[in-house]
Structure 1
Amino acid sequence: MCAGIGLHTGERVRLVLKPASTGAGISFVRSDITDRDNRIAALADNVTTVRLGTTIANEAGASVATVEHLMAALAGLGVDDAVVEIDGPELPVMDGSSAPFVDLVNRVGLKQLAAPRRAIQVLKPVVVESEGRRASFLPALSSMIEVEINFEHSAVGNQTCVFEVTPEIFSADIAAARTFGFRKDLDALLAAGLARGGSMENAVVLDDDGVANPEGLRFDDEFARHKALDALGDLYLAGAPIIGRYHAQRPGHAINNLALRALLADKSAWKMVTVRDACQHDVAMANS
């Protein structure tokens, strides 16, 4: 369980992770909604908004915003089945990374289930391009994320992040990378009534002089690492881990979702396989 404010709404919410049955996947339940269907499956088809984060919603209009950091934590740790109860419209931003979610899950522990794990195996290249951005899925022997970013700011510039999705690598190298933004953009969003929970406590803020946060960066390439984190979270809306290499140039939530939908729509580009050397995980007490 954790509590915090949403980056964009500024509202305080309470979030609880609970076990789910084998094969149930990840779903969000809006515990504050009682007059209609309040369960939202964490699937690409349910993505409704990709501005300033990824929002999912069901047909009854119940929605949850900014799901990508928690989804990245679940993907990185190998959690296949879980129920996420939340009493508000947006996940808490915590420190702007996935690390607090990883710490909470690790504190409780994971239970391995007997059923073999299912995964989506990429069989052939799938490429999408949109507004100067490009993303592709390529066949590979494991789950890989590669992102390339280019910002005209001295603290960022050209950066690349490549990592294999394993609990060890994700926890050590990716989970702590924070979201980032430019002070001028933050000021404009605040003036428009957006990003009301945004501050240097939950994001890396860039101004004309560089990184404004007194503590500086956690990694020299924290910006690329966070974009890779976002990509992993967005892609876990496939409903299963993806065995393949995802390569994105100038990635963002929109191109991530566009690429994922393109992959899933092409039935010849993938197949569902059983990962026999891995077991599904559930959110449960380690000693249960």
Structure 2
Amino acid sequence: MQTTIRNSVTFTGVGLHSGERARMTISPASANYGIWFRRTDIDRGDSMVPARWDAVSDSRLCTLVSNGPDASVSTIEHVMAALAGCGIHNALVEIDGPEVPILDGSSAPFVAGILAKGLRELDAPVRAFRILETVEVSEGEAVARLEPSDIFEIDFRIEFTDAAIGRQEKRLVMANGTFVHELADSRTFCRQADVAAMRANGLALGGTYDNAVVVEGDKVLSPSGLRHADEAVRHKMLDALGDLALAGLPILGRYTGIRAGHALTNKLLRALFARPSAYEIVECGEAMRDRLPGAGLGRTGMAAVA
């Protein structure tokens, strides 16, 4: 059955790019509601913003959704990954600023908050997009692909000149608690050389060594070091799950990302939905639900993010 969070949970912090403080609350929602953001600081116009692929209006270094001229919310990928990875299908996310708090740069604080409150089943079956035909988009050396599979898998490959990252690849079946145990605590990362350029363009104003892994050559400059030797590719997989969650329903298929980012994953979803023959909507029975992220995940998952 579909789920929502059992009770509301609140997070406070600064936005990675805006540097602005924000208070964000995830609250229960009814069946078939989906995920919506509401800007509580907006008094005029439409404050509701859908967490949906066709509402993405900027995806350079993060994913930003908007409802047009009235309201937008940026850097939503980490909380979207947490919701999807915990198997939350319906929720209202209220926020009093333009950007989701970055917290520690991963999804772990969001996952911990969600699991501490628990999930509630709703009286409606889970539906999913089953991929029927391969869909692929590319830009230069970057590729993003969805292809048929009976389970949801993420296969990601990255390559950076900085030896601290280098070439990394990982493939995971995302059923049950895989996201929580394998990916949720992996933090966003960047090269020291990029920090000045981002800040000159009004980005990364809230970034610190505590909420991002910063590398230079073969050195990890963040004092806490790495949580995983391949933390960078794990975080790219985390981002991909968050961006794919904007499909609006879980996906049954294999996602492959080769040097892909937010923009290319959104371009992939647009290509998918432009080709109706490439997917079908299926109602998930118990066996199929077990192939989706978060199925059966309870408070036992807390150990992975404590």
Category of TM-score, reference length = shorter chain: over 0.9
Q: Distance in 1 between matches of 2:222 and 2:164?
A: 12
TM-score (norm 1): 0.95
In the alignment, which residue of structure 2 is the partner of 1:128?
Answer: 137
The answer to whether the 8 A contact 2:30-2:122 is kept is no
| Aligned residue in 1 for 2:153 | 144
Give 1:138's aligned amino acid: E
1:199 is matched with which residue? 208
1:74-223 to 2 correspondences below 5 Å? 74-223=83-232
TM-score by length of 2: 0.89
Q: Which residue of 2 aligns with 1:29?
A: 38
Of 228, 233, 236, the match for 1:227? 236
Count residues in correspondence.
282
Report the Cα offset of residue 191 of structure 1. Answer: 3.4
Per the alignment, residue 251 of structure 1 pairs with 260
Which residue of structure 1 aligns with residue 6 of structure 2? Answer: none
Give the drift of 1:156: 1.1
Q: Percent identity?
A: 46
Select the structure that is richer in strand. Answer: 1
Q: Which residues of structure 1 form unaligned runs of 5+? A: none
1:54 and 1:193 mapped to 2: Cα distance?
Answer: 16
Structure 2 distance, partners of 1:114, 1:21, is 9
Comparing 180-189 and 243-252, the one that deviates more: 180-189
Q: In 2, distance between residues paired with 1:222 and 1:194?
A: 22
Distance in 1 (alpha carbons) for counterparts of 2:248 and 2:103? 24
Q: Over residues 127-178 of structure 1, what are the superposed CA-to-partner deviations in whole Å (9 max), with x where a residue is unaligned?
A: 1111321111111011111111011111111111211223411111000000
Q: How far off its partner does 1:59 sit?
A: 2.7
Measure the CA separation in 2 of the matches of 1:37 and 1:226: 33
Please give the per-residue CA displacement for 1:97-131, whole angstroms capped at 9, x wherever unaligned: 00000000011111112311010000011111113
Instruction: Indicate conservation of the 8 Å contact 1:77/1:166, yes or no.
Output: no
Is the 8 Å Cα contact of residues 81 and 243 (structure 2) preserved in structure 1? yes
Unaligned runs of 5+ in 2: 1-9, 300-306
Any conservation in 2 of the 1:182–1:205 contact (CA below 8 Å)? Answer: yes
1: distance between equivalents of 2:143 and 2:170? 15
Instruction: Note if contact 1:150-1:157 (Cα within 8 Å) is conserved in structure 2.
Output: yes
What is the DSSP-based 3-state SS (H/G/I as helix, E as strand, rest coil) of the residue aligned with 1:79? coil
SS of the counterpart of 1:33?
A: coil
SS of residue matched to 1:185? helix
For 1:68 and 1:94, how far apart are their aligned partners in 2? 13
Note the C-alpha offset of 1:209. 4.4
User: For the aligned residues, what is the CA RMSD?
Assistant: 1.5
Secondary structure, aligned partner of 2:120: strand
Look up the match of 2:57.
48
